Chain A
Amino acid sequence: MNSTSATGIAYQEAIEQYRPQPERPLPEPQLENRKLLKKFHPDHIDSSRTRLNIGINRGDNCHKQLAQLLQSDSRISEADLAGAATINTDVLVIGGGGAGCAAALIAEQQGANVLLATKLRLGDSNTVMAEGGIQASINKEDSPQNHFDDTIRAGHHHGDPDLVSQLALDGPDVIRWLIQQGMQFDLDEFGDLLTRRAGGTSSDRICFYRDYTGLEMMRVLREAVHNSNIEVWDYCPTVELLGDDMKGCSGAVISSLKERKYIQINAKAVILATGGIGRMHLNHFPTSNHFGATGDGLVLAYRMGAALRDLDSFQYHPTGLAHPFHLAGMLITEGVRSCGTYLLNGQGERFIDELSARDIVAAAVIRECQEGRGILTEDNQNGVWLDTPGIELRQPGILNQRFPKLMHLGRKAEIDLTQKPLLIYPTLHYQNGGVVINENGETSVPGLFCIGEVSGGIHGKNRLMGNALLEIISFGRRAGLMAAQRRKNKRSSQLSIEHLNQLRRELTTAEIPLDCQGPLLFPEYAKFDLDSDYEGLRRNRSSKP
């Protein structure tokens, strides 16, 4: 945890001084939101920004760590493909999270042959970590227009209106589809969907199942995939996309970790659903993301020629666990704040409206810590309190009833959340930008679709709670449909890795050394047993600076 200041109130001292209180006043804000963001949000750390030197986004702002990967050499050359088997399919889905599954299911329903390749196992994804819920304007007093307005506003007016409108309009139908698939939601005594309000929104719009909505969603999708004719390849990271002779994308090179060999997939459409970048630990932040979120899709799509956007905008979730050390970065659902829990600094004072948008709350937490009002642990980690005892006093029993996963986390941390607060600090949570897409998830490269976190434009510069789960299903279904249709009128074409030659030409011309290889595939601290270590991975490790 890297807050610039290491001053604060010692953890032991703070926890002893802490007394549960039902109500606490919110002081007047000292700094308007825009200035707060500019001064304290990690996106605005100048030393971590750079400009891209190659590719279609040349000249754009980009986070330094991401730029290094976007401007890295490929892991493969033509020699690696000599003798590699080629498998044909209609639609290749890369990524085994919610978006990939939704796209695969719809494409298969349309009669396409679908192959789903995932780096880890089906369902190993950030989808299962989404706790808060999914947004859909299903209430009488709500409307898609309100949903649209909230999303655009939260994204600081950087979102693509066409994409956001498709997202908001699709909301109710996505919930219906999920229920049809067998997903459960929390219901009221009449059997209607319960809803609650997300930070930064104007209406109760979050549908949820306990505090593991994403896990429930993934359970259903995973079963649906296993019960379909979709072929699933686990432990098969994609190391490169394949081009064709018509400047499109016609497949991918997959590295089978089990068989230790490269396999070429010739597909009529490729759907990238590889998720985000949390495990790149931008600015040395901990992350709430799962093990596979290493930004592979961005690197692959960029090399293929797809345009990216908002590469300097990331979401730091305000409530990541900061103590104990071994659980650092674990996410605490926004649902806890959305039902009224306060955030307190080391002096026991509130410092921000807890229902503000995520970037503002995160910036406020960082401000408290940097200005010495945070709580400092023995591991030199800063943080502020999540006042769970306070909400328990106001709404007795709510923690056990609504947040079983949070209580479980408390037990793991050996903290009784009804008596003691949790120490939290922002955690790297979401990549707001990504590959530029249209309403059907199509990128600027024919045949290449991007959906879910790897795509950009929907959330602008900041994402609302619950919009990610909606996005993956809404755009996943559309991309699946379009990809399946595309197979019908696509000419067969010659696979090519000419785009990698082009990449190497640009790298050489821009005088960027070719010693870094991408995509990352696994976090740098990943340990492999000797058995699974083979040439491709070994090369990667030795080339790390």
Chain B
Amino acid sequence: MSQTSPLNQVLLHPDRRFGADLETWLIDIGGEGLEKAIQAPDEILPTIRTANLLGLGGSGFPTHVKWEFIANESNDQDKYLICNGNEDEPGTFKDRILLQETPHQVIEGAMITALATGANQIVFYINPDQTESLEAMKEAVNQWDETQYINQISTLLGRPLEFYVVASSGHYIGGEETAAIESIEGKFPFPRGKPPYPAQQGLFGLPTLINNTETLANVSHIMRNGAEWYINQGAGAAHGTKIFSLSGDVLRPGAYELPMGTPLDELIYTHGGGMLLDRKLKAVFTGGPSNTILTPRDLDVPLDFDSVQERRSSLGTGAMIVISEGTGIVRRVTEYVSFFANSSCGQCPSCKTGTYYASQLLSRIDSGNGTRADLDTLINLTRILPGSGRCHLLDGAMKLLDSSLYHFMNEYEQPLRRN
């Protein structure tokens, strides 16, 4: 990389965070990627494939694979692209910045995606609590309507390109792919069973592609600068950049866009200003926080999907909630598990009762009223519950609980009542 500092070079570049101002965006770098895409629509997919753009909403699933599913569906029907901006996980705050401060970056990415996959109906699906994001996106979408790009793309697609800005229901579970589809259809966001996959039968029964906001935001840059450039943005073997939502006991929490593969200690100590009050690091809850907890031993882990996976955790949304010595793990886990319990849609009995029961047991232990039997029950739950829900909510909650039990069993045992 040629820049002196790797911070905020692409998506969160300080010069590009001007909100819904299409004129400025087009004078700056806007439109370049889109024009390349319009000139050679067939080149889009191969470029993304070479760049190996991954799903940045947490899955790390190769984006081009997802796109190919949709592209292969027949073009004589409407196809949907949903830009997922439901973002409601504790400790994650990247999409709201992209939507609010760089709406055109997201929209241009979505238009290129539409060209690549044949999707002509683009839905921006946004958390209703983020009113600024909603307003910025509504305004930004209207600004594009006055350009010639819409007609050009519509002609290429053979169908009119249309935008919708939709407020989600505000439920955490509404961020799950099929739940988002239900929600946009006007129903309660119950996740659907798969198959059929959304690529075949999604929104209103039509082929539907769902990408995270950050994933789409990258697309125009890749088209503008080429796949090679994107690959070089990453550190080590990883490609591109990632926005990390750093929070917790650090001096400077915030959203930091850094090369994918930046080590955890560099994020915390160089960019985050180090630990608050110079306390010792105790644990890091990663993206969600429905993942395995990272501990001080993992400080050297490069933050990319594969490397974090090797530590048996997951990068997730890029949220890093840092916990210092002196902060109780049990209380935090109790908070997060009760968040999952409150967020469960309730259609799978194992999830509805399992998360609730786990959060009750945790509260009891945290408040000093738990017994050894409670703890044993809790451990049992982490063994029997995973895999029994339609979506991953239950799995995520149990993964978090299980890893906290693994690393910090003494903190669970310490407040137990005798007898």
CB of B252 within 8 A of chain A?
Answer: yes
Are B276 and A505 in contact (CB-based, < 8 A)?
A: yes
Known contacts A83-B366, A85-B367: A504-B277 contact under CB 8 Å: yes
* Nearest A residue (CB) for B339: A494
Q: How many A-B residue pairs have CB under 8 A?
A: 39
* Nearest A residue (CB) for B329: A82
Q: What is the bound-complex CA distance between A86 and B366, given in angstroms?
A: 11
CB of A79 within 8 A of chain B?
Answer: yes
CB of B326 within 8 A of chain A?
Answer: yes
Within the complex, which residue of B248, B276, B367, B415 is in contact with A508, where a contact is CB–CB below 8 Å?
B276
Are A77 and B326 in contact (CB-based, < 8 A)?
A: yes
Q: What is the bound-complex CA distance between A245 and B342, given in angstroms?
A: 14
Within the complex, which residue of A83, A501, A514 is in contact with B249, where a contact is CB–CB below 8 Å?
A501
Known contacts A83-B366, A86-B367: A78-B331 contact under CB 8 Å: yes
Are B367 and A83 in contact (CB-based, < 8 A)?
A: yes
- B189 nearest CB across to chain A (Å): 17
Q: What is the bound-complex CA distance between A509 and B277, given in angstroms?
A: 11
Within the complex, which residue of B90, B327, B367, B415 is in contact with A78, where a contact is CB–CB below 8 Å?
B327
- A51 nearest CB across to chain B (Å): 23
Contact with A along B214-252 (1 / 0, CB 8 A): 000000000000000000000000000000000011011
Contact partners of B335 in chain A: CB under 8 A:
494
Q: What is the bound-complex CA distance between A508 and B253, given in angstroms?
A: 13
- A510 nearest CB across to chain B (Å): 12
Are B331 and A82 in contact (CB-based, < 8 A)?
A: yes
Contact partners of B252 in chain A: CB under 8 A:
505, 509
- A372 nearest CB across to chain B (Å): 52
Q: What is the bound-complex CA distance between A209 and B31, given in angstroms?
A: 78
Within the complex, which residue of A78, A494, A514 is in contact with B326, where a contact is CB–CB below 8 Å?
A78
Q: What is the bound-complex CA distance between A514 and B276, given in angstroms?
A: 12
CB of A1 within 8 A of chain B?
Answer: no
Contact with B along A48-84 (1 / 0, CB 8 A): 0000000000000000000000000000011101110
* Nearest B residue (CB) for A79: B326
* Nearest A residue (CB) for B129: A246
- B359 nearest CB across to chain A (Å): 12
Interface residues in A467-522 (C-beta closer than 8 Å to B)? 494, 501, 504-505, 508-509, 514
Q: What is the bound-complex CA distance between A9 and B348, given in angstroms?
A: 89
Q: What is the bound-complex CA distance between A429 and B360, given in angstroms?
A: 50
Are A83 and B415 in contact (CB-based, < 8 A)?
A: yes
* Nearest A residue (CB) for B326: A79
Q: What is the bound-complex CA distance between A504 and B338, given in angstroms?
A: 27
Category for how many chain A residues contact B: 10 to 19
Contact partners of B249 in chain A: CB under 8 A:
501
- A539 nearest CB across to chain B (Å): 14
Interface residues in B254-308 (C-beta closer than 8 Å to A)? 276-277
Contact partners of A79 in chain B: CB under 8 A:
326-328
Q: What is the bound-complex CA distance between A79 and B414, given in angstroms?
A: 14
Q: What is the bound-complex CA distance between A77 and B326, given in angstroms?
A: 8
Interface core residue of B90, B277, B368 (most chain A CB under 10 Å): B277
Q: What is the bound-complex CA distance between A82 and B325, given in angstroms?
A: 13
Contact partners of B368 in chain A: CB under 8 A:
83
Contact partners of B331 in chain A: CB under 8 A:
78, 81-82
Are A508 and B326 in contact (CB-based, < 8 A)?
A: no
Known contacts A78-B328, A82-B328, A514-B277: A508-B339 contact under CB 8 Å: no
Contact partners of B253 in chain A: CB under 8 A:
505
Interface residues in A82-117 (C-beta closer than 8 Å to B)? 82-83, 85-86
Contact partners of B326 in chain A: CB under 8 A:
77-79
- B96 nearest CB across to chain A (Å): 14
Interface residues in B359-383 (C-beta closer than 8 Å to A)? 366-368
Q: What is the bound-complex CA distance between A189 and B264, given in angstroms?
A: 82
- A24 nearest CB across to chain B (Å): 63
* Nearest B residue (CB) for A509: B251
* Nearest A residue (CB) for B363: A86
Q: What is the bound-complex CA distance between A82 and B251, given in angstroms?
A: 23
Interface residues in B145-180 (C-beta closer than 8 Å to A)? none
Contact partners of B251 in chain A: CB under 8 A:
505, 508-509
Contact partners of A82 in chain B: CB under 8 A:
328, 330-331, 366, 415
Interface residues in A13-65 (C-beta closer than 8 Å to B)? none
Contact partners of B327 in chain A: CB under 8 A:
78-79
- A343 nearest CB across to chain B (Å): 53
- B280 nearest CB across to chain A (Å): 13
Are B276 and A504 in contact (CB-based, < 8 A)?
A: yes
- A207 nearest CB across to chain B (Å): 48
* Nearest A residue (CB) for B331: A82
Q: What is the bound-complex CA distance between A444 and B283, given in angstroms?
A: 34
Q: What is the bound-complex CA distance between A241 and B90, given in angstroms?
A: 21
Q: What is the bound-complex CA distance between A504 and B90, given in angstroms?
A: 21
- B38 nearest CB across to chain A (Å): 43
* Nearest B residue (CB) for A77: B326
Contact with A along B303-335 (1 / 0, CB 8 A): 000000000000000000000001110110001
Interface residues in A121-139 (C-beta closer than 8 Å to B)? none
Within the complex, which residue of B276, B366, B415 is in contact with A501, where a contact is CB–CB below 8 Å?
B276
Q: What is the bound-complex CA distance between A83 and B334, given in angstroms?
A: 12
Q: What is the bound-complex CA distance between A501 and B338, given in angstroms?
A: 22
Q: What is the bound-complex CA distance between A501 and B330, given in angstroms?
A: 19
Interface residues in B49-66 (C-beta closer than 8 Å to A)? none
- B289 nearest CB across to chain A (Å): 13
- A66 nearest CB across to chain B (Å): 24
Q: What is the bound-complex CA distance between A83 and B415, given in angstroms?
A: 8
Contact partners of A494 in chain B: CB under 8 A:
335, 338-339
Which 6 A-B pairs give the minimum distances between C-beta atoms?
Answer: A82-B328, A79-B326, A78-B327, A83-B368, A504-B276, A505-B251
Identify 22 residue pairs between A and B in the complex whose beta-carbon atoms are under 8 Å apart, listed by A's number.
A77-B326, A78-B326, A78-B328, A79-B326, A79-B327, A82-B328, A82-B330, A82-B366, A82-B415, A83-B415, A245-B90, A494-B335, A494-B338, A501-B276, A504-B277, A505-B253, A505-B276, A508-B251, A508-B277, A509-B251, A509-B252, A514-B277
| Chain A residues within 8 Å of B, Cβ to Cβ | 77-79, 81-83, 85-86, 245, 494, 501, 504-505, 508-509, 514
Known: A504-B277, A505-B252. 19 other contacts (CB 8 A): A77-B326, A78-B327, A78-B328, A78-B331, A79-B327, A82-B330, A82-B331, A82-B415, A83-B366, A85-B367, A494-B338, A494-B339, A501-B276, A504-B276, A505-B251, A505-B253, A508-B251, A508-B277, A509-B251
